[in-house]
Chain A
Amino acid sequence: MFVIENNVIGDEKMLHGYTGNILHVNLTTRSIEVETPDEAFYRDYIGGSLMGLYYLWKFAPQGIDALSPENVLTFALSAPTGLPVSGQSRCTATCKSPSSGGAADSQAGGFWPAELKFAGYDAVVIRGAASEPVYLSIMNGEAKLHDAAHLWGKMTLDVDNILKKEWNDKKIEIAQIGISGEKLANFASVMNMSNRAWGRTGVGAVMGSKKLKAIVVRGSQRVTPADKKAVMALSRRGPKEMEPTGMDSFGKYGTIGIVTSQHGAGGLPTNNFNSGVMASLEDATKIGGERLYDELLRGAAEEKQDRKGRDTCYACIVRCKRVVESEYNGKKLDPDYGGPEYESIATFGSYCGVNDLHAGSYANQLCNAYGVDTISCGATIAWAMECFENGLITLEDTDGIELKFGNAEAMIAMLEKTLNREGFGDILADGSAKAADRLGKGHEYLITIKGQELPAHMPQVKRSLALIYAVNPFGADHQSAEHDPAYTPKSYDNNKARLAPLGLHKPQDARVLNAEKVEFALKTQYAFSAADTLGLCQFVYGPSWQLYGVQEMADLMCAATGWDVTLEAIQDMGKKRLNMMRAYNAREGLQRDDDTLPEKMLEKALVGGRSDGVRIEHEEFESALTMYFEQAGWDVASGIPTRATLASVGLEWVADELSL
């Protein structure tokens, strides 16, 4: 199907948007090769997650251990990556997940994705494992492996500084694992800029198992779109859309800006998901984005935080990234480690019942320095707190740490143990689900699906998320479909106007999970899935409140590639990725039985605030699950895509391999 030439980049660009080059690195044999697929391959597998899944399916044998050399780790871009328009510098990491045993899938932004494109590649496919630590450099097309013994065991920021000095170039971009990835922590991330994370599903553990410390990229090639004028027209529309879409506020306060409104809605996960509100609004305000903006962002004291305290990704005008400069208990909060997102301050705040913004910011910094997913790590500590509160674990287990809800110092102390795999922290380092198995208790307090801890949007109050969390192939994820408040009778008009072309015309209450809401979940899941295929940020491109809508995703792909891409084609791209991921999971043994919710969500009602007394009804959930499978074209009994559905998105060969 394709030709692999030995580490040579083709001179002629046959494609617009893409480089036409895929880099293949086998760490066992230390071979480096360049594949130059034809246009048909790019039309079929587009980029991002879908392209990564293709290589995972083709190269990783069925049934492997996720931490074995046979796992295949792909970093993939798409056609828009590197163009001068907001929200395109995203890259997907794909492999088999050590958490779920199914597909792992995680996205990160920053400048690394665009720089990889400028260095000459659409994707890097990593196979095998090195015998000693190595790092990979990709400089203007030339790829080399280097000894990384001097980088092993170091914090991410130290590694960034060492490599920039060694290459005598401050503009190299570095994707790397931290110490937690080296130690194969199940929730280890891959970091870039020391503050952007491929956080979820354990991709850092897989990279660590390959003894690949980092991928350093730098290049001077620029992306050549088919229609440069159309790209620039879309780019110029961005500033005009900031205020009408509310993205100006999103950029100003960042994702953490929703802490207080989540509390107001009864949807701020508190004390390991037992409540949707903190003890008081004042507590939520203490960890809110407004306070972070007023007090902790760099430049806040002189009211220059909009200029000094907000960072961005390549060519993005939203500038939602936080840059914190402060201290916690005499320890510096280093602006180079960024600042907490909503998810991070929720897990190291309300999940743990902690109202200390400085402690939460410090926890975020530690996670970035060691390279772990803030969501799973913080949620695992919250789970341990609930076990401690209920006497399942004691001071003897925790090495004397009083692991109670609300105890910020205990949270930080246990985090440090977890990051270093010391004492009880060694048990927590593989996540709460495996910790419960290892301890033989605490399963009733788990908030995991497919081995992955729930993010900080509560399915009790955003009911379609109950469905998406359960069916999502790589475990509970808040960035895999639109959230219910975008589709209620009171939703903003622009949200509803964006959803209408997807066939969604009947807004429902946020806590309803009926047929209409199932359709909303599935159709917006396709849109989000398409964004992860096209390498687009889901705060900038999406089906309702984002800066650009699904139609603009199609317009951008038309401009980048010159292909005729419609809104319907974008939805089909998302459908294809979702079905391929689901089919991969089926190949690895996951089925409908894995599409569950945590026991406590079905058994216990929330306590306090606007969501007091709310819980998910078992019958309602099961009914929605069946409707979802029917609408998705998946077998209702097994949850596996049918042959007809796979064929509808060009995946007959997958159906053949599954013997469907």
Chain B
Amino acid sequence: MQVNIHLFGSLRDYLPREQRGRTTVEVETASTIHDVLHSLGIEKPVLFAVNEAHDNDSTYQLQAGDTLTVFELTAGG
């Protein structure tokens, strides 16, 4: 199945520059958020949302067409 990925801040560097943090990837059915982050090489703690909903943990199984949004953890600035 396909899921949409939207990475922000320095996480955009996990994708080629021209993609500007956005891509669609093919993943196995029942893949979790953790699986997808791992496949992208993102191992550090991050903040994420699925379809702009924030009540999922990293074991949530993504559905075809979902958009996974991933933010860095930031403190001040």
A residues touching B (Cβ–Cβ < 8 Å)? Answer: 246, 248-250, 252-253, 255, 257-258, 260-262, 264-266, 280-281, 288-290, 294, 303, 342, 457, 478-479, 482-486, 490-492, 495, 538-539, 544-545, 609-610
Report B48-75 residues with CB < 8 Å from chain A CB: 49, 52, 54, 69, 71-75
Residues of B within 8 A of A265 (CB): 47, 71, 74
Residues of A within 8 A of B73 (CB): 261, 485, 490-492
The answer to whether the Cβ of B12 comes within 8 Å of any Cβ in the partner chain is yes
**CB contact between A290 and one of B20, B45, B54, B74 (< 8 Å): that residue:** B20
**Are A482 and B10 in contact, CB atoms less than 8 angstroms apart?**
no
The answer to whether the Cβ of B16 comes within 8 Å of any Cβ in the partner chain is no
**CB contact between B9 and one of A260, A482, A610 (< 8 Å): that residue:** A260
- Give Cα A342 to B54, complex, Å: 23
Known pairs A261-B47, A261-B71, A261-B72 / 5 extra A-B pairs, C-beta < 8 Å: A265-B71, A281-B69, A485-B74, A492-B44, A538-B76
**CB contact between A486 and one of B20, B54, B75 (< 8 Å): that residue:** B75
- Give Cα A202 to B28, complex, Å: 58
- Decide: A281 near B45, CB < 8 A? Known: A261-B72, A485-B75, A495-B75: no
**Are A264 and B75 in contact, CB atoms less than 8 angstroms apart?**
no
Residues of B within 8 A of A482 (CB): 75-76
**Are B45 and A490 in contact, CB atoms less than 8 angstroms apart?**
yes
**Are A261 and B74 in contact, CB atoms less than 8 angstroms apart?**
yes
**Are A483 and B49 in contact, CB atoms less than 8 angstroms apart?**
no
- Give Cα A348 to B54, complex, Å: 26
Interface size class of B (residues with CB under 8 A): 20 to 34
**Are A253 and B75 in contact, CB atoms less than 8 angstroms apart?**
no
Residues of B within 8 A of A257 (CB): 9, 77
Closest 7 CB pairs of A and B: A249-B10, A261-B71, A486-B75, A264-B71, A483-B75, A610-B54, A260-B8
**Are A255 and B21 in contact, CB atoms less than 8 angstroms apart?**
no
Residues of B within 8 A of A248 (CB): 10
- Shortest CB distance B73–A (Å): 6
**Are B76 and A261 in contact, CB atoms less than 8 angstroms apart?**
no
- Shortest CB distance B17–A (Å): 8
Residues of A within 8 A of B9 (CB): 249, 253, 257-258, 260-261, 289-290
Residues of B within 8 A of A264 (CB): 8, 47, 49, 54, 69, 71
- Give Cα A303 to B73, complex, Å: 26
- Give Cα A478 to B74, complex, Å: 14
Residues of B within 8 A of A294 (CB): 20
List 13 A–B pairs whose Cβ atoms lie within 8 Å, in order of A's numbering. Answer: A257-B9, A257-B77, A258-B74, A258-B77, A260-B8, A260-B9, A261-B71, A265-B47, A290-B8, A290-B12, A290-B21, A457-B76, A485-B73
- Give Cα A593 to B31, complex, Å: 54
- Shortest CB distance B61–A (Å): 21
- Give Cα A265 to B71, complex, Å: 9
- Shortest CB distance B23–A (Å): 14
**CB contact between B10 and one of A252, A288, A490, A495 (< 8 Å): that residue:** A252
- Shortest CB distance A295–B (Å): 10
- Shortest CB distance A550–B (Å): 15
Report B1-58 residues with CB < 8 Å from chain A CB: 6, 8-10, 12, 17, 20-21, 44-45, 47, 49, 52, 54
Residues of A within 8 A of B76 (CB): 457, 478-479, 482-483, 486, 538, 545
Complex: chain B residue closest to A248, CB-CB: B10
Residues of A within 8 A of B8 (CB): 260-261, 264, 288, 290
- Give Cα A261 to B45, complex, Å: 13
- Give Cα A490 to B48, complex, Å: 13
Residues of B within 8 A of A483 (CB): 75-76
Residues of A within 8 A of B6 (CB): 281
- Give Cα A265 to B74, complex, Å: 9
**Are B52 and A280 in contact, CB atoms less than 8 angstroms apart?**
yes
- Give Cα A482 to B74, complex, Å: 11
- Give Cα A449 to B54, complex, Å: 31
Complex: chain A residue closest to B12, CB-CB: A290
**Are B52 and A281 in contact, CB atoms less than 8 angstroms apart?**
yes
- Give Cα A257 to B69, complex, Å: 16
- Give Cα A486 to B6, complex, Å: 24
- Give Cα A491 to B46, complex, Å: 9
Complex: chain B residue closest to A260, CB-CB: B8
- Shortest CB distance A174–B (Å): 27
Residues of A within 8 A of B77 (CB): 250, 255, 257-258, 342, 539
- Give Cα A486 to B45, complex, Å: 12
- Give Cα A71 to B7, complex, Å: 50
**Are A609 and B54 in contact, CB atoms less than 8 angstroms apart?**
yes
**Are B54 and A266 in contact, CB atoms less than 8 angstroms apart?**
yes
- Give Cα A249 to B72, complex, Å: 10
- Decide: A544 near B75, CB < 8 A? Known: A261-B47, A290-B8: yes
